[in-house]
């Protein structure tokens, strides 16, 4: 029995002139089939935040969560930030976002992933967000010995991943000056004189 096309390909149209001019052009009907077999977790979320489609790699990671809110697979401490990033694409204030979040795998284990996602449109109408997991990364360890605030913990984790001030600001949806203030307080709390020293201290504490 032929599987029906998902919301992704039902709403994406390839201009007929493209198909006519290039017989090898990849139309939307075949795009889903290709993505299904790509060994990179990929997904489509509708504008209300409901997961409408996942490929096999994504299902292997978090299970078949179609019909559920995307936040159902996001670790609780990353839910607020994940919603903020999603909202930025839905309202049109961001054309692409790249962020590291922790997801809850099908076996209950937490996995840190770097996700790149973009809004998708049918004409001028937003039909959701398409994203892919660009990397599975080793999650920085918690550092209770430093007595950091939750925000300082987030900032330190991003510094450990090599993020710049601007990248941290974009990922946490904060102003650059606010991030600088968080970094200053972080360094003062840790007794570090530079970001590099703070990262080195964090690694030594593991």
The continuous run of DSSP H or E covering 80 comes out as helix 76-90
The DSSP call for residue 161 is: T
Q: Residue 120 — φ and ψ, nearest 5°?
A: -125, 145
Residue 19: predicted pLDDT? 38
Residue with tokens 């060994």: 39
Both 96 and 155 in one domain: the answer is no
Residue 200: predicted pLDDT? 87
Both 24 and 108 in one domain: the answer is yes
Residue 36: predicted pLDDT? 85
Residue 134: predicted pLDDT? 78
Both 115 and 13 in one domain: the answer is yes
Both 128 and 151 in one domain: the answer is no
Other CB atoms within 10 A of residue 97 CB = 20
Both 112 and 170 in one domain: the answer is no
The 3-state secondary structure of 27-61 reads CHHHHHHHHHHCCCCEEEECCCCEEEEECHHHHHH
Is the pTM of the predicted complex or chain greater than 0.75? no
Q: Positive or negative CA dihedral for 119, 120, 121, 127? A: negative
What is the residue-level pLDDT of the chain in tens, covering all 206 positions? Answer: 334 444 444 444 433 333 344 555 556 667 777 888 888 899 999 999 999 999 999 999 999 999 999 999 999 988 998 999 999 999 999 899 988 888 998 888 888 888 999 999 988 999 999 999 977 665 556 678 888 998 998 899 888 877 888 888 988 889 999 999 999 999 999 999 998 888 888 877 65
* Domain count across the chain: 2
Both 13 and 28 in one domain: the answer is yes
Both 38 and 59 in one domain: the answer is yes
Both 181 and 91 in one domain: the answer is no
Q: Return the SS3 of 164.
A: coil
Q: Positive or negative CA dihedral for 117, 50, 139, 197? A: positive
Residue 27: predicted pLDDT? 62
Cα gap 42→21, rounded to integer Å: 29
Domain boundaries, position 83: 7-137
Q: What is the CATH number of the domain that holds 124?
A: 3.30.450.20
Q: What is the CATH number of the domain that holds 158?
A: 1.10.10.10
Of 137, 154, 173, the residue at which a domain comes to its end is 137
Both 105 and 159 in one domain: the answer is no
Both 114 and 69 in one domain: the answer is yes
Residues 71-91, buried b or exposed e (16+ Cβ, 10 A)?
Answer: bbbbbeebbebbeebbebbbe
The DSSP call for residue 123 is: T
Residue 62: predicted pLDDT? 93
- Domain membership of residue 166 (yes or no) is yes
- Domain membership of residue 2 (yes or no) is no
Q: Residue 137 — φ and ψ, nearest 5°?
A: -125, 160
- Domain membership of residue 1 (yes or no) is no
Both 76 and 173 in one domain: the answer is no
Per-residue pLDDT of 94-149, as tens digits, reads: 899 988 888 998 888 888 888 999 999 988 999 999 999 977 665 556 678 888 99
Residue 129: predicted pLDDT? 96
């Amino acid at each position: 029995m032929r599987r029906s096309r998902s919301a992704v390909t039902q709403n994406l149209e390839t201009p007929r002139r493209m198909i006519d001019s290039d017989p090898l052009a990849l139309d939307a009907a075949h795009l889903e089939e290709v993505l299904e077999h790509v060994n990179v977790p990929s997904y489509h979320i509708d504008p209300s935040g409901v997961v409408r489609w996942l490929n096999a790699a994504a299902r292997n990671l978090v299970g078949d969560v179609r019909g559920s809110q995307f936040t159902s697979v996001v670790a609780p401490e990353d839910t607020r930030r994940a919603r903020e990033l999603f909202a930025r694409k839905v309202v049109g204030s961001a054309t692409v976002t790249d962020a590291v979040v922790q997801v809850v795998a099908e076996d209950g284990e937490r996995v840190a992933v770097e996700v790149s996602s973009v809004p998708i449109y049918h004409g001028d109408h937003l039909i959701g967000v398409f994203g892919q997991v660009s990397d599975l990364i080793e999650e920085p360890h918690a550092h209770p010995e430093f007595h950091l605030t939750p925000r300082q913990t987030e900032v330190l984790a991003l510094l450990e991943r090599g993020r710049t001030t601007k990248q941290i600001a974009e990922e946490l949806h904060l102003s650059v000056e606010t991030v600088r203030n968080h970094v200053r307080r972080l360094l003062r709390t840790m007794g570090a004189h530079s970001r590099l020293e703070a990262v080195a201290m964090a690694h030594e504490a593991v």
